[in-house]
Homo-oligomer: A and B are copies of this chain.
Amino acid sequence: MKVGPSVLVLLAASTVAPALNSAQPALMPWPAKLTMELGELPVTPGFSVRATRFRDARLEAAIRRFTDRLSLSTGVPFVTPAAGGPGLQIECSASGPAIPELGEDEAYRLDVAPSGAKLTAATVTGALRGLETLLQMASPDARGYHFPAVQIEDRPRFAWRGLMLDVSRHWMPLSVVLRNLDGMAAVKLNVFHWHLSDDQGFRVESKRYPKLQSLGSDGHYYTQDEVRQVIAYAADRGIRVVPEFDMPGHTTAWFTGYPEFASAPGPYAIERDWGIFKPTLDPSREATYQFVEGLLGELTALFPDRFFHIGGDEVDPEQWNQSAAVQAFAKQHGLATPAAIQEHFNRRLQAILKMRGKTMTGWDEILAPDLPHDAVVQSWRGQSSLAEAARKGYRSVLSFGYYLNYLQPASQLYANDPLDGDAEALNTAQAALILGGESCMWSEYVSQETVDSVIWPRVAAIAERLWSPRETRDAESMYTRMEAVSRTLEYTGLTHRSGPERELDRLAKSSDPEPLRVLVRAIEAQGHDPRAAARHYTSLVPLNRLVDAATAESELIRALEKSAHRAAEGNARDREFLRRNFALWKSNRKPLDALIAANPALQEIGPVADAVAEAGALGLEVLDYLQGGRPASEDWIAKRKAALDRCAQPRAEVVIAAVRPVRLLLDAIELRSRGGGKSSEGANAVRGN
C-alpha cells in the first residue's frame, strides 16, 4: 500500500479551463459552470440566512455552521437581523438520504446578486455543497466584506471522492478526525475511509472481543459512542464513513489479544516497526471464521455505510507456507497458491458481509477470478489495475497517484485523472464503473500534530480533480485558488498552517523562532521512501524535528520560482523579491547558530542552514549577473551549477527547495549566453572566476 507512482503522469497545463481572473472568486473545487455578474452583496452584521421551503435539523445545523464560519473568516459579527435585510435564501425540496449514499444528488445552484443570494438544491446535501461554495466567496474591500455577484450551476464529476486516514500506525485522536471532516466538507470530499486497524493498533472498541482494543491499542482507540459521533458528524456534512479492518494480513495487533487466530503460535506484541509483517489470520480453522463473523457482526451494525472495506493487501505468505494445518487445508480445497488461499478467505468474508447487507470493498489484491461482481476494488497499484477491474465489470476507485505521504507537489496529484492512462481505452459502460478516487494518508511519518499539514492543502487539488469538469486542469489557477482556500481552511479548525508554527516554537524553545521560520520556508520535507531509508523509524520515534515542521511544498519557493521566470525577462519587482529572500537566507546562518547552541536537538539543522545560506549567496551572485545583462562563459555556468547541485543534496530528511529559483535564473543566463536570450548590455562572455 505504500508504493508511489513509478510513472509520473505529468500533464502540461491545459488552456481549456480559463486561468483565474483576479476578479473571480478563489473557489475550490471549481464549479461546473460559473458566470460572473455585476455588483456585490455586502456581508453585514444583519446578514440573514433563511430556509424558505424545506428544512430539517441537518440544514439548520449547516446554517449555524455557515454563519459561525462566515463570522470567523471575515471578522464580521452577526446579530439578530432586522427583518428583511439582505441575506441568503435557501430553497431545497427534501432531506436526501438519512445516511449519505453513493451517487446521491449533490447538485446545487447559487445566484448571488446585490439584493441577496439564493441557493437552490433538490436535497439538503446539495445545499451543503452550495454553502461551502458561498463561504469561499467572501472577499474584503475598502468598506468590509462582500460576496461578488455570480451565477453558479454545479454538480460533481465523480460520486466517490474520498480521503483515507490511517489511525493505526500513529494514533489520531477524535479531534483530528472531526476537524478533517470539516476540511473535507469544505472542499466537497464525500467519503471518509477510516483505516482502523493494522499491525500497529486496533483502534475501535469491540464489546464482543474486548482484548482487541485492551491489548492491541496502547489504550488509544475510539469507543463505540465516539464512532457513532464521527458517523453523525460526517453525515451532518454529507460525508460517508467507510471503515476498513484490514485482513487477513496487517493483523498483528489483533493477535495480542487473540493469538489463537493467527497462522503461527503466539505470543504477539503490538508491532512498533513499519513494513509488511508475517502475522496472518489462520484460514484453515473454522474458529477463525466464527471470530471474524462475530466481529463483523458487531462492526457492520456499528457502521451504517453500505460499503465495508476488508483491506486484503500485502499478505506475506510465510506463516501459511510454514503451517502444516494451512497447507493441509489448502490441499484439501485445491488452493495451489497463497493468492488462492486468500481468495478462499475473501469468499467467506464476502458471504458474511453480504448477509449483513454490506458490499465488500478491498485493495487491488482482492481482484480474483471468483470475486463477486458487486465488490468495489480500490486501486493502489496503478490506473492499469483500475482499468482491468472495470473491464472485468467491477466498480473501482483510484488511489494510485493520490498517496499524500509521498509528498508530491499538488500539481502532480492534480494531473492524475482516474480516466487517464489505460482507462482511456474503456468504453462508456466500463468507464462508468470507475466511481472516483481516494487520497490516502498513511501515517508512518505523521503524528496528530503534523497530519493536517501533510493532508492540507494538497488534498484540495485531488478534491477538485474528482469534482470539477475534466477540462479544469490549469495548474497555475489551481495553485492560486488552493493557496487562498488553504488560509480559510484554518477556520474549519484544521491546523495545517498553525501546526508547523507550533513545531517551530517547540524547536526554538524559549528563543525567537524567526530564523527557523526563514529556514523552513526555504525547504521541503522528504516523503515516505527517503525517510524510511534515512534512519530506523518506529512508532516510538518522536516526530519532532525540522523535517516534521517542513511541508510538502513551500509556498514561498513556488512564488520565487514564478518570480524567477519574470525576473529573467527583466521585471524589477520580481528581482527585488528574489534579492530580498536570497539575502535573508544568506544572513540567516548566524542566528541559527545561536538557536542550535541553545538546543542540542537542533544539531542536525546546521548542514541544512549551510545549504540554504549557500543557495542564497549563489542566488545573489546569479541575480547580479543577470542584471548585468552579459552572457556568461560555459565554465562560469558549470561552476555555479555544480555548486547548486551540492546544495541540492537532501540532508536531515529535507529537500533544499531554495535551489530551485536560483537554478531557473541560471538557466535563463545559460539560454541567453547561448544566443537564445536578449543580451543587450555587455557584449563579451565573462570568464568564470
Please name all residues of chain B whose beta carbon is closer than 8 Å to the beta carbon of A501 when the two chains form the complex: 497-498, 501
When all copies of this chain in the complex are counted, the total is 2
Q: From the candidates B45, B498, B512, name the one contacting A498 in the complex (CB within 8 A).
A: B498
Q: Which of A139-147, A291-299, A339-347, A390-398 contacts B (4 or more CB under 8 A)?
A: A139-147
* With known contacts A505-B487, A542-B75, A140–B601 Cβ distance under 8 A: yes
Whether a CB of chain B sits under 8 angstroms from the CB of A559 is yes
* With known contacts A74-B544, A590-B576, A539–B600 Cβ distance under 8 A: no
Whether a CB of chain B sits under 8 angstroms from the CB of A98 is no
Whether a CB of chain B sits under 8 angstroms from the CB of A80 is yes
**Contact string against B for A residues 601-640, beta-carbon threshold 8 Å, 1 for contact and 0 otherwise:** 1010000000000000000000000000000000000000
**Contact string against B for A residues 415-449, beta-carbon threshold 8 Å, 1 for contact and 0 otherwise:** 00000000000000000000000000000000111
Whether a CB of chain B sits under 8 angstroms from the CB of A72 is yes
Task: Tell me the nearest residue of chain B to A503, going by C-beta.
Answer: B75
Task: Tell me the nearest residue of chain B to A507, going by C-beta.
Answer: B140
Whether a CB of chain B sits under 8 angstroms from the CB of A571 is no
**Contact string against B for A residues 368-380, beta-carbon threshold 8 Å, 1 for contact and 0 otherwise:** 0000000000000
**Contact string against B for A residues 71-94, beta-carbon threshold 8 Å, 1 for contact and 0 otherwise:** 011111111100000000000000
Task: Tell me the nearest residue of chain B to A76, going by C-beta.
Answer: B542
* With known contacts A498-B498, A501-B501, A601-B141, A512–B555 Cβ distance under 8 A: yes
* With known contacts A487-B510, A498-B502, A599-B140, A77–B591 Cβ distance under 8 A: no
Whether a CB of chain B sits under 8 angstroms from the CB of A688 is no
Please name all residues of chain B whose beta carbon is closer than 8 Å to the beta carbon of A77 when the two chains form the complex: 170-171, 447, 539-540, 542
Please name all residues of chain B whose beta carbon is closer than 8 Å to the beta carbon of A139 when the two chains form the complex: 509
CA distance A498 to B494 in the complex (A): 12
Please name all residues of chain B whose beta carbon is closer than 8 Å to the beta carbon of A540 when the two chains form the complex: 45, 77, 79
Please name all residues of chain B whose beta carbon is closer than 8 Å to the beta carbon of A481 when the two chains form the complex: 510
Please name all residues of chain B whose beta carbon is closer than 8 Å to the beta carbon of A132 when the two chains form the complex: none
**Contact string against B for A residues 541-576, beta-carbon threshold 8 Å, 1 for contact and 0 otherwise:** 011100010000001100100000000000001001
CB pair A140 B600 closer than 8 Å: yes
**Contact string against B for A residues 119-157, beta-carbon threshold 8 Å, 1 for contact and 0 otherwise:** 000000000000000000001111011000000000000
Task: Tell me the nearest residue of chain B to A269, going by C-beta.
Answer: B80
Task: Tell me the nearest residue of chain B to A145, going by C-beta.
Answer: B542
Instruction: Give me 11 other A-B pairs in contact (C-beta within 8 A), A79-B270, A79-B540 excluded.
Output: A75-B543, A75-B548, A76-B542, A78-B218, A80-B219, A140-B601, A481-B510, A495-B498, A498-B498, A573-B594, A580-B587
CB pair A600 B542 closer than 8 Å: no
Find residues 197-246 in chain A having any chain B CB closer than 8 Å to their own CB: 218-219
Find residues 6-60 in chain A having any chain B CB closer than 8 Å to their own CB: 26, 45
Please name all residues of chain B whose beta carbon is closer than 8 Å to the beta carbon of A576 when the two chains form the complex: 590
Find residues 269-313 in chain A having any chain B CB closer than 8 Å to their own CB: 270, 272
Whether a CB of chain B sits under 8 angstroms from the CB of A483 is yes
Q: Interface size on A (CB < 8 Å)?
A: 68
Task: Tell me the nearest residue of chain B to A545, going by C-beta.
Answer: B75
CB pair A75 B498 closer than 8 Å: no
Whether a CB of chain B sits under 8 angstroms from the CB of A490 is yes
Task: Tell me the nearest residue of chain B to A78, going by C-beta.
Answer: B218
Please name all residues of chain B whose beta carbon is closer than 8 Å to the beta carbon of A510 when the two chains form the complex: 26, 480-481, 483-484, 487
* With known contacts A80-B219, A487-B505, A144–B449 Cβ distance under 8 A: no
Whether a CB of chain B sits under 8 angstroms from the CB of A687 is no
Whether a CB of chain B sits under 8 angstroms from the CB of A506 is yes
CB pair A218 B580 closer than 8 Å: no
CA distance A171 to B68 in the complex (A): 12
CB pair B140 A75 closer than 8 Å: no
Which of A447, A509, A548, A599 has the most chain B CB atoms closer than 10 A to its own CB?
A509
- 14 A-B residue pairs with Cβ-Cβ distance under 8 Å, sorted by A, are A76-B544, A79-B540, A80-B270, A140-B599, A141-B601, A144-B601, A480-B510, A484-B509, A484-B510, A487-B510, A491-B502, A497-B502, A497-B505, A573-B594
CA distance A587 to B512 in the complex (A): 21
Please name all residues of chain B whose beta carbon is closer than 8 Å to the beta carbon of A45 when the two chains form the complex: 540
Task: Tell me the nearest residue of chain B to A20, going by C-beta.
Answer: B510
CA distance A599 to B603 in the complex (A): 41
Please name all residues of chain B whose beta carbon is closer than 8 Å to the beta carbon of A491 when the two chains form the complex: 502
Task: Tell me the nearest residue of chain B to A22, going by C-beta.
Answer: B598
Whole-angstrom distance between the Cβ of A475 and the nearest chain B Cβ: 16
Please name all residues of chain B whose beta carbon is closer than 8 Å to the beta carbon of A505 when the two chains form the complex: 487, 490, 497
* With known contacts A74-B542, A512-B555, A540-B77, A577–B603 Cβ distance under 8 A: no
Whole-angstrom distance between the Cβ of A605 and the nearest chain B Cβ: 13
Whole-angstrom distance between the Cβ of A75 and the nearest chain B Cβ: 3
CA distance A48 to B448 in the complex (A): 21
CB pair A142 B603 closer than 8 Å: yes
* With known contacts A75-B544, A480-B510, A505-B490, A142–B580 Cβ distance under 8 A: no
Whole-angstrom distance between the Cβ of A514 and the nearest chain B Cβ: 8
Please name all residues of chain B whose beta carbon is closer than 8 Å to the beta carbon of A79 when the two chains form the complex: 218, 270, 272, 539-540
* With known contacts A487-B505, A510-B487, A548-B75, A601–B142 Cβ distance under 8 A: yes
Q: From the candidates B142, B506, B559, name the one contacting A512 in the complex (CB within 8 A).
A: B559
List 9 tightest A-B contacts by C-beta distance, closest first. Answer: A75-B544, A484-B510, A498-B498, A142-B600, A75-B542, A487-B505, A45-B540, A140-B601, A79-B218
CA distance A603 to B78 in the complex (A): 25
Which of A448, A495, A540 has the most chain B CB atoms closer than 10 A to its own CB?
A540
Whole-angstrom distance between the Cβ of A176 and the nearest chain B Cβ: 12
Please name all residues of chain B whose beta carbon is closer than 8 Å to the beta carbon of A539 when the two chains form the complex: 77, 79
Which of A77, A139, A543 has the most chain B CB atoms closer than 10 A to its own CB?
A77
Find residues 482-539 in chain A having any chain B CB closer than 8 Å to their own CB: 483-484, 487, 490-491, 495, 497-498, 501-502, 505-506, 508-510, 512, 514, 521, 539
Please name all residues of chain B whose beta carbon is closer than 8 Å to the beta carbon of A26 when the two chains form the complex: 510
